Amino acid sequence: MLWWIDSRAAPIPACADTAKQRALELGCSHGAFLIQLRELGWECLGIEPAAEVASRAAERGFDVRVGPLEEVVAVDPQTFTPLSFDAVFAWMVIEHLHDPVATLRLVRELLKPGGTLSFSVPNFGCWERRAFGRFWYAMQLPTHLQHFTSGSLRRLLEINGFELLDLIHQRNVNNLVGSVGLWLRTKFPRWSVGERLIRWTDNPSALGLCLLAPIARLLAMMRQAGRLTVVVRRK
């Protein structure tokens, strides 16, 4: 549903017709995004820390490795050689990492000169985080180990050898709905509304997304969206 509400949320660079280009997705889950890559002509690999989920992507015909990036590269350095990928993707992954700096440096090694890294993270600098505080849905402690603002992301990427190409405020208000749900569930535990909003956030309906689209667009225009998509290039 992420791409349904905002096609810019998970952009795919054009694949050259003259040569097969390689793409790597970190946290590929069951392979939905890998399917999109394959349909657009990319030769793609996936990395997924959860073995059961990775098996579902493998059943779809993808080469998927289980574990964190650093361990996967160490086990199979011939597949993951330096300067061997044209693009790397990581949707809602970086915030889960114990050491994002080490991962970014390794990604830079894997990318060809001019190769791109595209990823998304919750926006810790948005208004909803300040408004809801500990009820902010994207806080998700201790699952989310890192939190980023647009400014901290710029600095992190610059010092690790990346050039910022685009920073997109997603037209997505799922975190906002979830935050309201968490607040209601805590303040009014006998009400079912809070729990229902939380369930909707995890599995949003097309109708709900359509109704919320004007708010999502407005917040994105104001650069106050709850999620950021970043596209950078290896210097």
Mean pLDDT, residues 144-170 taken together: 96
Q: pTM higher than 0.85, yes or no?
A: yes
Give, in degrees to the nearest 5, the angle at Cα 73 between 29 and 61: 40
Q: Give the integer Cα–Cα distance in Å for 12 and 116.
A: 10
State residue 174's pLDDT score: 93
Q: Count other C-beta atoms under 10 Å from residue 115's C-beta.
A: 23
Asked if 60 contacts 32 with a C-beta cutoff of 8 angstroms, the reply is no
State residue 156's pLDDT score: 96
pLDDT in tens, 113-153: 999 999 999 999 999 999 999 999 999 999 999 999 999 99
- DSSP collapsed to 3 states, 155-182: HHHHHCCEEEEEEEECCCCHHHHHHHHH
State residue 2's pLDDT score: 44
SS3 content of the chain, % helix, strand, coil (to 5): 45, 20, 35
pLDDT in tens, 19-67: 789 999 999 999 999 999 999 999 999 999 999 999 999 999 999 999 9
Asked if 186 contacts 135 with a C-beta cutoff of 8 angstroms, the reply is yes
Query: What distance, in Å, lies between the first and last C-alpha atoms of the chain?
Result: 33
Which residues constitute the domain of residue 47? 2-234
Q: What is the CATH number of the domain that holds 126?
A: 3.40.50.150
State residue 4's pLDDT score: 44
State residue 1's pLDDT score: 41
Residue 115: what residue type? G
Give, in degrees to the nearest 5, the angle at Cα 64 between 114 and 70: 60
State residue 7's pLDDT score: 61
When divided into structural domains, the chain yields a total of 1
